[in-house]
Amino acid sequence: MPKIGDIQLPEFPLLLAPMEDVSDPPFRALCKEHGADVVYTEFISSEGLIRDAAKSVMKLDIYEKERPVGIQIFGANLDSMLRSVEIVEQSKPDIIDINFGCPVKKVVSKGAGAGILKDIDLMVSLTKAMVNHTKLPVTVKTRLGWDHDSIKIVEVAERLQDVGCASIAIHGRTRAQMYKGDADWKPIAEVKNNPRMHIPVFGNGDVNTPEMAQKMRDDYGLDGAMIGRASIGNPWFFNQVKHYFKTGTHMEPPTMAERVAAARRHLQMSIDWKGETLGVFETRRHYTNYFKGIPNFKEYRMKMVTSDASADVFDAFDEVLDKFGDYQFK
């Protein structure tokens, strides 16, 4: 059974990926309730933290019920990263995770996220310095490489392990691919099969059905799956995977009443955490998936994603339950 530092995980744990403007406390709480074994915060800028930028500091909020929880930070400046570790420690997370994988241009252009894949020596030295600067387990999330011609993930993972990295999660695409094409898990399996590797190796990318999670476990032999986009508007996904592992059958999809209840709680928790305006705005991206596949739903979805007042969104939920309450999801 895999361990991150002293944190004992179940066999083949399911991890909620850090996702910008998605993996906030309300969403993490829902995913935790529905089977996520480890959750991560949205990625936090080390520069933003040391400048005390409000948005970065707010992302440090973590709650007892979501443990074990990792706070993920990104940056390319050693001094800033070490100072941000000290700030992060005050929130008492279980894990500090370094983002060496974000492909977004504004992050990469500063040499952070996946940008650091152009400078593996810096990636290793930053990790080593952070490991030496904290007693918390330090983990890494990264990609296969900068582009197809520079994939050295087996060597990179081994070097990160050797400087004290406690686990590694690898997204099966290069930075050049962004999110296009299929994730390639073969190089991740090569990392796992390296006889020198002893830390957990988690796979990420395209785990969007229970069958794909099982394939990652059984065909590729990885230690766990990190799940991102498949969980948006679908916090039940973690338990759906676990049910499939246990029984070989698919769990009954959530009913309309369960979906409305989850969407209502999600919105209310978001408002409680970040206020009416942001709470309403940042929960919108989840509704399409909460209510996926319902015919003649456009009018209600538009109301949910264009209303600026939470009262109107809550009214839309009531209307949906009233009109589509008996709808059978497949």
In angstroms, the CA 83 to CA 105 distance is 24
SS3 19: coil
**φ and ψ at 184, to 5 degrees?**
-105, 110
Using DSSP's 3-state secondary structure scheme, residue 11 falls into coil
The β-bridge partners of 169 are 141, 202
What are phi and psi for residue 201, nearest 5 degrees?
A: -120, 115
**Beta pairing, strands 3-4 & 7-8:** antiparallel
Owner of token pair 């799956």: 225
- Check if 102 is active-site: yes
> Taking CA 26 as the corner, what is the angle to CA 71 and CA 222, rounded to the nearest 5 degrees?
50
Both structure tokens of 303: 């109301």
Instruction: For 226-262, give one letter per residue: b (16+ CB within 10 A) or e.
Output: bbbbbbbbbbbbbbbbbbbbeeeeebebbebeebbeb
In the set 102, 153, 169, 260, the catalytic residue is 102
Q: Catalytic residue numbers?
A: 102
